Chain A
Amino acid sequence: MPLLEIEALTKVYRSPEGSDEVVLDVPSFTLEEGAEVALAGTSGSGKTTFLNVIAGLASPTTGRVLFEGTDVTQYSESVRDQWRARNLGYVFQTFHLLEGYTALENVLLGMMFGPGADRRRAKELLERLGLEGRTGHRPSQLSVGQQQRVALARALAGRPRLVLADEPTGNLDPRFALEALGMLRELCREQGAALLCVSHDPRVLDALDARLEFADVNVARSHAGGDA
């Protein structure tokens, strides 16, 4: 059984003018356990919406999102939140670290709502990513590369089964982009987590085991104006 199966998924937004815009139309998509898949797509092609629907942060208009055979779109919101906390890691393009929290606390937040906060593991992850002297720093006190590593640690901290990465290197200097991607892949492999990464960076797309064109996955003819 695949880890993730998507069936007849659509997402339709109603424009202010009253017309419907089909942002997503994914007839079928599967992701095996522990797999690495890169989805290549241009800006505004609906990649982020696709990840949000998988993560349960946005509801599909129609279709099913099966995780280990169970349709998570049928979950109540609070069950879906719990499912997300226990099974998913999310790496955002702009990291979305919380400024009021230290690096260590940001990582702990990645566990708190799922398996529970494990301070030792959070520290080990940060040390592993070369941030041993930075655990008490706030995000604004870290370099962009360090912030990205904190974001990776947070996404992997709860030992997720699936990691969703949205342009994970988009904000990084080219020198650090591949390094960060390497860390992400390494951690996913170690934990047996599948990695679904959307990007338009060829270096990222080429680095992962499998590459799919998002336009082949999403056959929607009408696109929203942005990466909503």
Chain B
Amino acid sequence: MRSILLIVRRSLRTHALSTALTVLSAGLASGLVMSVFNVSQQTTNAFTGGEIGYDAVLGAKGSPLQLVLNTVFHLESSPGNIPWAMYQEWRDKPGVRYAIPYAVGDNYYGHRVVGTTEDIFDQFEYQKDRPFEFARGRKFDEGYREAVIGASVARKRGLALNDKFQVFHGLDYSPVLSQLHPEVYSVVGVLEPTNTPADEVIWIPIEGIFRMSGHLLADGTEATELGGGEIPDEQKEVSSVMIKFTSPAVGMGRYANTITAINRGDAATIAYPIAQVMLGFLSKMGWITKVLVYIAYLVVGVASFGLLASIYNTMNERRREFAVLRALGARRSTVFTAIVCEAATIAFLGALLGYALYAIVMFVTAYFVREETGVHLDTLAYHPSLVWAPVAMVALGALAGIVPARKAYATDVARTLS
């Protein structure tokens, strides 16, 4: 075994450049496979919301996917509004643990401004058994222009307690097109990080959205025209309602027909179960993952052939080495094993490098996904590919070593040394 290790070590050193390049290509292959599987898995996990603390989203008639993206992930535009009464109806239904209204339409430098009720701090769970917690300050008072901001908003915008700010009209910020609302809000609370898109959100009282200059009520008038008076319920609209049932049986059983009827009707859409909606979307996009997987496999194949070619090309110059080793008493099997081990070692080093590349890819991907969507990918999460991809790379490397090893095996000692 010592002799094989010495032969492998010396060969890797002697052919350092080709070794390094082959290790790099094996590393790219292994890292790519692990990255594709893990990014896909983590994205699916993050967007199918296995941990989301509520069950359904009620909103305007349209695509359930758009509704979920808009309400859960704070992406996409809102499909429209539904009457306040519909929110009240669901809030008061038996078997509904809570119903939280959302009203959207403004942003603060791209951070979505969501009008809602205090219930979001009292009852809501953004993930199972995880309510919002305050890092600093308190929840807003619904009668004032007060805001509670997510952790990322505080960090990225440098907002702190008692800071004043004005919001821009529209869901997306554009320095040219955005209109600044004159209403000034005061930060009264900063939430602890949740590692969800909620970190990117500014929460204000829903009345604030209704009364924002330029926002129209259901009848087309502005609330400001009402002065400080109460807005009649029939004039209020919400973008969506997050609904949590007291148990899964409520949604699946008691309200199954109601949900079906709503979705068949023209007034509203109810996205339920949320995970199913996202899973349906992601499975439609699954072909992208498949293509990436095939590309990754192709890269693995190319890397394996590259490894084979790299070692095979050294066989002629190394023929004398093998003949000398044989003359010194090395068995054919020793020489054969040394070449296979050399190929496997290169693949192994590549697999180690693959972990580093994988870490970089995951880190960069997680960074961009977090910045763009607020969704946090778990970069340290385990996926079986973290084991089988490097093992397969080493096995393929050893397999690729068999071809040159056979050539070394067949070296004619007497002829080569004469």
Contacts and interface: CB of A to CB of B under 8 A. Distances in A.
A84 B321 contact: no
Contacts of B415: 228
Contacts of A99: 14
Contacts, number: 85
B3 A82 contact: no
Interface string A185-228: 00000000000000000000000000000000000000000111
A88 B10 CA distance: 25
Interface in A112-127: 112-114, 117
Contact of B334 (A88, A92, A105, A113): A113
A142 interface: no
Interface stretch (B105-113, B202-210, B296-304, B325-333): B325-333
A15 interface: no
Contacts of B329: 81-82, 84-86, 88, 113-114, 158
A112 B326 CA distance: 12
28 contacts: A52-B417, A52-B418, A58-B413, A77-B332, A78-B331, A81-B326, A81-B331, A81-B332, A84-B327, A84-B329, A85-B328, A86-B329, A96-B323, A98-B321, A100-B13, A101-B6, A105-B6, A105-B10, A109-B3, A109-B6, A109-B328, A110-B328, A112-B2, A112-B3, A113-B325, A113-B334, A117-B2, A117-B3
Contacts of B327: 55, 57, 84, 90, 92, 96
A49 interface: yes
A98 B418 CA distance: 16
B11 interface: yes
Contacts of B417: 52, 57, 92, 96
A77 B411 CA distance: 14
Contacts of B325: 98, 109, 113
A185 to B, nearest CB: 21
A114 B334 CA distance: 13
Interface residues of A, number: 34
Contact of A113 (B14, B328, B413): B328
A227 B417 CA distance: 11
B320 A96 contact: yes
A228 B418 contact: yes
Interface in B401-418: 413-415, 417-418
B3 A100 contact: no
A45 interface: no
B326 A57 contact: yes
B332 to A, nearest CB: 7
A108 interface: yes
Contacts of A86: 329
B295 interface: no
B392 interface: no
Across the A-B interface, the 8 shortest Cβ-Cβ residue pairs? A85-B329, A113-B329, A100-B14, A112-B3, A58-B414, A100-B10, A52-B414, A81-B331
Nearest to A116: B2
Interface string B1-42: 011001000110110000000000000000000000000000
Contacts of B334: 113
B11 A100 contact: yes
Contacts of A117: 2-3
B334 to A, nearest CB: 7
Contact of B413 (A57, A105, A158): A57
Contact of B328 (A78, A154, A227): A154
B309 interface: no
B218 interface: no
Interface string B329-355: 111111000000000000000000000
A148 interface: no
Contacts of A169: none
B321 to A, nearest CB: 5
